[in-house]
Structure formats: structure tokens, C-alpha cells
Amino acid sequence: MTAQETKIVTCPTCGGDSVYGAQNQFRPFCCERCKNIDFGAWASESFRMPTEAPPDDSVYGDARLQ
């Protein structure tokens, strides 16, 4: 890739510009700090998928019990 073909993406952590190429070892992040912040959020389970918990009085787990 030449300098004109360098792909610039938005850093998922800070929103700044990030070079998306082999010369950026932290891609898609702009720097090691942003990469570590994101990794820490995953490790502490800050990123979660919303779910609806079953009612307290219903049986859940084994489908045969329902």
C-alpha cells in the first residue's frame, strides 16, 4: 500500500483517526492505551448483551422440564 492508499478508520475507543494497516500493530485502535481500555472493558464484563430474565416462578434450563 502506498501513502495515498492508507486506510484511516475511527478508533473504537477514543473516536480518533487510526491507520488500518500492517504498520499499526494496535489496529483497529489508534494506540496501545485504547486497545488496553477496550480489553479491560471486556475482561471486567462491562460489555454485555441485554437479555430478558425468566420470571422467578418459571422453570428454566432443561427444556424437558418446561
| Omega within 30 of 0 (cis) for the link into 28 | yes
Do residues 41 and 32 make contact, with C-beta atoms less than 8 angstroms apart? no
Does residue 17 or residue 57 have the better pLDDT?
17
pLDDT tens column, 1-51: 555 678 999 999 999 999 999 999 999 999 999 999 999 998 888 877 777
pLDDT at 9: 96
Is 3-47 a domain of CATH 3.40.50.2300? no
In the chain, where the domains are located:
3-47
